Amino acid sequence: MNALAATSRNFRHSARILGLDSKVEKSLLIPFREIKVECTIPRDDGTLASYIGFRVQHDNARGPMKGGIRYHPEVDPDEVNALAQLMTWKSAVADIPYGGAKGGIGCNPGDLSTSELERLTRVFTQKIHDLIGVHTDVPAPDMGTNAQTMAWILDEYSKFHGHSPAVVTGKPIDLGGSLGREAATGRGVVFAAEALLAEHGKSIKGLTFAIQGFGNVGSWAAKLIHERGGKVIAVSDISGAIKNPNGIDIPELIRHKATAGSLKNFQGADSMDANELLVHECDVLIPCALGGVLNRENAADVKAKFIIEAANHPTDPDADEILAKKGVVVLPDIYANSGGVTVSYFEWVQNIQGFMWDEEQVNKTLKNYMTRAFHNIKGMCQTHDCNLRMGAFTLGVSRVARATLLRGWEA
């Protein structure tokens, strides 16, 4: 089941649990605005190339729309729609005053030079500058984009609207980016895991962890788990997978990956089949890579007692049912990976105030938000007698529905 079908199914299920009126349900599902623009740039060799840029703005009942911009050759409109919708519910679960959006350009960033990427980003910004804004829609980095991309958007937008650091988040520190933003998603995953484990009378210390994906989120989560006395016994990335039943030395692995570019040939662990990682013997499994990795083929073989969804949509609905029957507790992506958007919100707040926080304040406030959201989700689980995924969805959807009704839009 693709991301859009799964997200819509979860939404409809939560709407039924909440007893939403069908008119409200329909209005919450349809995006507020979909934008599609042509971006033509001169290549370095003098030829012209055209790319399609787009932005799906899903909902603004609770505040400006918020979501990433990705540069990827196969930008699928359905997936972008699903991710924009997911951002609406995610912001509401985290209780930050945003709605959801998502966008990008259909290109392969690896095939473009830095100056071509800059020209493309500036043309895209010229086409959408009057549809984004500090209090309208605030983009952020996503697949294939980074802090430099945000710097170009900020600069181009500011030519039209005056200096506006809060128009994008995930910026370089020197242009108003927030301290703690780089580690935010991984750190949020760890705070979420701590809240869940505490509920079961456990802590990270002494438990075993398997982590799929060792990019930004996976490596930060592994580092912070290691620091708290958790044993990371298996890790994988695009290059392969490694294991060590006594625990992998994470700081050493991070150094190895920085120099070697992959996990291969790391001395402190044995290599293993990457597919085996998901069903490896461990207490906590953290998928941090792609969507749909846990499915009806492998869910029955999962040995972890807890799954923390750091990736977007790693567990498809078939796997959800199988895991529930096995008694595996799944902490849903809509909450578990919301650390990134939460610290993006802190960055936006700092930019609007013109007053920057130190890193300690960022991390402390993030922990408060993640812990409070977990208890709010548990409250919904008890009220509606449902699992954590539906607890999170009902929490997010009910907040957006209330805001919509209070504004009088469904009339």
Give the span between the Cα atoms of 313 and 86, in whole angstroms.
10
Per the listing, tokens 């500058």 go with 129
Paired with 101 in beta bridges are: 57
**Sequence-distant (≥ 6) Cβ neighbours of residue 129 within 8 angstroms:** 156, 157, 160, 161
**Helices 359-384 + 339-353 axis angle, to 10:** 130
Tell me: is residue 146 an annotated ligand-binding position. Answer: no
Binding site annotation covers 383? Answer: no
Does the active-site annotation cover 257?
no
Place of tokens 């992959």: 262
Please state whether beta strands 33-42 and 48-57 pair in parallel, antiparallel, or not at all (unpaired). Answer: antiparallel
Q: What is d(CA 327, CA 306) in angstroms, rounded to the nearest whole number? A: 9
Residue 310 phi/psi, 5-degree rounding, is -80, -25
Give the pairing type, strands 329-331 and 65-72: unpaired
Going by their DSSP bridges, the two strands 137-141 and 306-308 should be labelled as unpaired
Among residues 102, 171, 231, 243, the one annotated as catalytic is 102
Quote the CA–CA distance of 106 and 112 in Å, as a whole number.
Answer: 12
Show the DSSP H helices in 43-164 as ranges.
77-94, 114-128, 147-161
Closest CA to 168 of 33, 89, 65, 51: 65
Residues 6+ apart with CB under 8 A from 68: 83, 102, 103, 104, 139, 140, 141, 142, 143, 145
Which amino acid is residue 133, in one-letter code?
Answer: G
Distance CA 169, CA 353 (A): 14
158 is in an annotated binding site: no
Q: Record the tokens describing residue 189, joined without a space.
A: 């995953």
Residue 115 counted as an annotated binding residue? no
Look up residue 84 and give its DSSP letter: H
SS3 168: coil
Which of 124, 140, 133 is closest to 346 using CA atoms? 140
**Coil, strand, or helix at residue 268?**
coil
The secondary structure of residue 9, as a DSSP letter, is H
344 annotated binding-site participant: yes
Q: Provide the annotated binding site for substrate.
A: 66, 90, 344
Q: Provide the annotated binding site.
A: 66, 90, 185, 216, 344
Q: Give catalytic residue positions.
A: 102
Q: Provide the annotated binding site for NAD(+).
A: 185, 216
